[in-house]
Amino acid sequence: MEPSNEFDELFEEMKDVERSREAKQNTWLSLKSRIEAKRKRNIFPAFIALAIVAIASFLFLTFSNPSETEQSAEPLSNEEVIRAVLEIEYNGPDRELLRLMNDWMKLQSETVTNNQEEYDQLLESKEYKDYINYYPATFGEYFSEGVLASLINANLVFKYDHHLEDAGIEMHLENVEIKQEKDHPNIYRPIIEVSLTNSEGQKIYHTLREEFIFSTSEPGKIGSYNGVKDGGGLELQQKIKYFNTYVVNDEDVKTPSIDVSFDTLCFNGRTPDQQGKVEFKSGCTSDTNQIQPIMTRIDNLFVKETTEQETRERGELLPEIENYQIYLTNEADKGTTLYTITLYEDGILVFAPDSNIGIVGDITTKPHVFLYEEIKLMLDEFADNE
């Protein structure tokens, strides 16, 4: 029998997938309510727009002159303030902002202004006020006086929304890890993980850092909000703009092939401090309760073969940045390494058979910074010199 039709009968049987009418109807009802909720968010009737202006104006005035009620309310912690700003900045595009901006642009293009007086009159329009009030209504409570205006002028808030709209991409804040500077408690440099999704559901991820400096004169308010040099903000813009080139080709993606039999996991960790002094940690365990959670976290990651460039870059990074190397071996013969997994501080993992310095092998297709921190804690639990 030809291979092309030998299995036709069995394939035919596999087509028979049962689905109850009730389940189908329930799925439709859930879908319908989600669609309706989205429509309501998108359609802003005039009275809602008016209400927004009223609320925005109220908030603006309120934050300029804090009331007694507000003064007595529980203030947000610095971490909560950072999280709130990131939620707004990294979930988008904000359709309401885009709608208000388009209305204002449309009015400007449709109205001829011959002199400054006429333009000043335009600045009194509802469209302009709605647009400009949206910023303090959204971000006002988190920034100290005067800071938000300078951020708006420098396009440092709502900085990705136009790019997202142009590219037809949705951004979602996946994870935030907020780190406070040890020596400067007012400075925080959060690590932010976002996902980008196109209309066909293809998704990519990106990790970046930003910097928040809290005001000393107005505690709990942000006095400065910056991207960190080389923090990944520009790369995020590139990923939004050229989304398709960053979509991982499923063909090239696989999970690590850790095809060895082992009963012991050992590690060496290299952790430089801020003065450049390096601390080394190491340890071994044969306890499956300690090994299993670590392996479960790392052996389902998506990896591809390292390129020459990546190998070169990793070779330079290895003695520079914090890293942990995990060695799989056997209790009876710890001298023989069967498999090596190298975890870099930037969240990249390299998988290689045998004893390997950690630059050649299969490399993760995206950074896993949170996973790195998680595994580091697990390893530190059985470090000999902890």
Residues in contact with another protein by the rule CB under 8 A? 3-4, 6-8, 10-11, 13-19, 23-24, 26-28, 30-32, 34-35, 38, 168, 170, 198-203, 249-251, 255, 258-263, 288, 291-292, 295-296, 299-302
Cβ proximity to another protein: between 66 and 168 the closer is 168
Supply the angle between the helices 46-64 and 126-139 in degrees, to the nearest 10. Answer: 60
Least Cβ distance, residue 228 to another protein (angstroms) = 28
- For helices 95-110 and 126-139, what crossing angle results, to 10°? 150
Asked if 296 and 274 touch (Cβ cutoff 8 Å), the reply is: no
Smallest separation, CB 36 to another protein (Å): 10
Closer CB to another protein, residue 36 or residue 279?
36
232: left (phi over 0), alpha (psi -120 to 50) or beta: left
344 vs 144: CA distance, rounded Å: 37
Q: Measured from the CB atom, is 4 or 109 closer to another protein? A: 4
* Cβ-based nearer residue to another protein, 52 or 295: 295
Token readout for 260 is: 């060895």
Q: Which is nearer to another protein, 64 or 288 (CB)?
A: 288
Residue 361: Cβ within 10 Å count: 23
Instruction: Considering the complex, state which of residue 30 and residue 113 has its C-beta at the smaller distance from another protein.
Output: 30
Identify whether the C-beta of residue 155 lies closer than 8 Å to the C-beta of residue 233: no
Q: How far is the CB of 297 from another protein (least distance, A)?
A: 8
Tokens read off for 180? 């406070």
How crowded is residue 377: how many other Cβ atoms within 10 Å of its Cβ? 9
Q: How far is CA 52 from CA 55, 123, 126, in A?
A: 5, 18, 12
Minimum gap (Å) between residue 332 Cβ and another protein: 14
Q: Give least dist CB 88 to another protein, A.
A: 20
- Minimum Å gap between C-beta 37 and another protein is 11
